[in-house]
């Protein structure tokens, strides 16, 4: 499921394997494009790579999908 791929991405990101984390996020979002956890992890990966433009774009997307997201506060 999307949540499993998102969890895997979070773990891979924490372990420093950004390439694998990105692939897992892509898989999660392919299954469920509006998955809050996967979108949040995508933002986290972008921030860890200093991709502030990408992180901001993803955060705006997340805010449209889920304006009450705790992750945006």
Q: What is the pTM of this model?
A: 0.87
Model confidence pLDDT, tens digit, residues 1-36: 999 999 999 999 999 999 999 999 999 999 999 999
Burial of 51 (0-12, 13-18, 19+ CB in 10 A): middle
The pLDDT of residue 72 is above 70 = no
* pLDDT band (50, 70, 90) for residue 57: very high
Burial of 21 (0-12, 13-18, 19+ CB in 10 A): buried
Model confidence pLDDT, tens digit, residues 43-52: 999 999 999 9
- Report the alpha-carbon angle 32-33-34, nearest 5: 95
**Which residue bears the tokens 């949540």?**
3
């Amino acid at each position: 499921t999307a949540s499993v791929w998102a969890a895997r991405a979070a773990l891979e990101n924490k372990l420093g394997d950004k390439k694998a984390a990105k692939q897992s996020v892509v898989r999660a979002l392919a299954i469920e494009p509006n998955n809050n956890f996967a979108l949040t992890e995508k933002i986290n990966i972008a921030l860890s790579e200093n991709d502030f433009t990408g992180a901001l774009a993803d955060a705006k997307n997340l805010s449209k999908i889920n304006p009450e997201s705790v992750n945006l506060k």
